Chain A
Amino acid sequence: MPESHTVSAGPADGRAGGPGGPGPVPPPLSGAWAPVPVGDPAADFEPRPPGGPLYRPDTVHDGWSTDAVTVRLASVRGNAHRFRGRPREDDVAVAVHAPTRTVVFAVADGVSAAEQPQVGAALACRGAVDDLLAQLESGQAAIDWKHVVDSAAYQLVARVAGTGGPALAASKEAERRYATTLVAGAVQVREHGVLSLALVQAGDSGAWLLHRGSGHYEPLLATKFSAGDAVISSAVTPLPRVPSPVVATTALLPPGAVLLVGTDGFGDALGDGTGAVGRLFHDHLSTPPPARGLAHLLDFSRETFDDDRTLLAIWPRHLLPGTTP
């Protein structure tokens, strides 16, 4: 049975009183809702409603623990989309395959140049996680990572073509409508409780191991900052294009680290992790914050960083406060 994990973070709410009657009125939370400023904060404004036929909430967050890991995630609409009345184009999905104690997840960043990137991101995440669960359920010896990426990519094509046969035209149309990046992965419990992780990537979303003691962010995947070019590129190769070959990145998830998987809205601001954003997340992710706390943290305000941001964090339960080793 999953073990609950109690954490305390965020502003104290001042509630006293018990079941016997109303307690004292809580003090006002002046300023507690404001975004966390980092450097020069962005301009303050009231967001416009997202356009489009689908309901896309501005922010989603989630969090829970198994006996092996604690999971937190948040996805927040960027200021540029809030200002211009566009939906959040990032998405994230996570699930547990209980029989194998495996946590599977996907993070996606719809490409703005596409027509409905938010649909692409949602389809890719669900497609990848569904396929991972199906593979684990089948009892096969190892995860077929190419199949995971293919399945996520084909979700976009199938959305165009229905359930009919394959067609290059449908693929091209899917790219025009639904192009999205994807990072999919799994954290598995090995012998003696050792945690291993595997990741696959299409596009420029990233993943890091944050070493909780040193604050060092160890990049696990290539991102736009890996190239060291004079200028950065905004070009990306997303699904439904599938990298060839699909190569899974594998690593151990040591007890002193936390796995972070995020879109470039987080990764660009993080850079190599030595700046203010890196320090902010190191300070607050050394132990798991409440999921709503992660959403608030991720919605930090820093000028020019106005993209959607999505972050999934997975801590090994071993060594966390309140956990019996």
Chain B
Amino acid sequence: MIQLKTMLNCIDNSGAAIVECVAVMRKKKQAARIGDRIIVVVQKQRSFGAESPGSSSLGITNKVRRGDIRHAVVVRAKKEIQRKDGGLIRFDDNACVLINKTGDPIGTRLTSVVGAELRDRQWSKILSLAPLHV
């Protein structure tokens, strides 16, 4: 149940670590679930070891900066979601992947598991990057 002000983990290597949801797209009253597109603000940048945090670290590694407004796809949610076979799936955290406006992921790698509901929503590019999907 991702809505305004929800803090999510960003699991790609775009440079964002924690993002905040500011809008759920194409849903008037409901909260976002796995596979939904949201708009986020980058709250915390991922600090890469080699880069020095003080200087201009916006190199190849960090494609986004703190305060950037980006589109994202929810890939994991704490709220359980029902599958077509009657089963449920629930993760321990809320996580998203940043995308650009055409729907392609900004990062090139994903670090952790994503929900298989993305397959129904045709997020095949994210699924191909993910190490695991359940």
Same complex for A and B? Answer no
Seen from chain A, the residues whose Cβ lies within 8 Å of a Cβ on chain B are none
